[in-house]
Amino acid sequence: MATAVPLKATARERVGKGAARAERRAGRVPAVIYGDKKPAQPIALDHSDVIQQLNTGHFLTTVYEITVGGGKNRVLPRDVQFDPVRDLPTHIDFLRLAAGSTIDVSVPVSFINEDDSPGIRRGGVLNVVRYEVELTCPADAIPDEIVADLTGLDLGDSLHISSITLPAGTVPTISDRDFTVATIAAPAGLQSEEEEEAEAAEAAEAAEEAAAEAEEAGESGEAEEE
């Protein structure tokens, strides 16, 4: 479960494009803290600290504790803007988390026990439909990931969200259907064989029907001659 990670910040006295560019030239990333019915608070973060957190791979699902202006803010990153050329962070939006609140957040799915899937052992392919699932969960208990167990899944089987154990108090934001997270697809070679077998079976069935119709027609003709 998510725990608050301390993150250093300084208050920004000026806002606007010029002030933001000045912060970036000084090696800082401009940001803002908003929400919880409080005024927005412009801040700046050390560029190296931001890069380090982005490299964790789950920046947007990590709860941070930012101390600025003598106060502590429990926050969750909601948006990161990047320079289109250099792909470096240029601005971050943080949402204040009120005590006892819930939040919608996209959480990555981790797949385990591929070796225990009969379909994969037979050469099947794990076809991931959703690499992330949007969940509604307590703001102070955001999971880093949810775990999908592939044990027992055979070719053609589907793994639905109902088969994944979610943390207490956490539910999918999509609640009107049991949506698919992944499937076990047959390998191309096996698909071709199955298609050929199906076509052969259809051809044999058609031949039997044609023979039966011809036999019925022959019997009908003999009856008319009599």
Say what the pLDDT of residue 2 is.
52
Say what the pLDDT of residue 31 is.
94
- Nearest one of 146, 142, 148 to 128, comparing CA atoms: 148
Average pLDDT on 72-94 reads 92
pLDDT 10s digits, 114-127: 999 999 998 999 99
Say what the pLDDT of residue 37 is.
86
Say what the pLDDT of residue 206 is.
62
- Contact (CB, 8 A) for 19 and 1: no
pLDDT 10s digits, 128-179: 999 999 999 988 788 889 999 999 999 999 999 999 999 989 999 999 999 9
Domains of the chain in sequence order: 5-98 (2.40.240.10), 103-186 (2.170.120.20)
- Contact (CB, 8 A) for 92 and 76: no
Say what the pLDDT of residue 15 is.
82
pLDDT 10s digits, 181-213: 999 998 876 655 555 555 556 666 666 666 665
pLDDT 10s digits, 86-102: 899 999 999 998 878 88
* pTM to 2 decimal places: 0.67
- Contact (CB, 8 A) for 106 and 73: no
Give me the chain's average pLDDT, please. Answer: 85
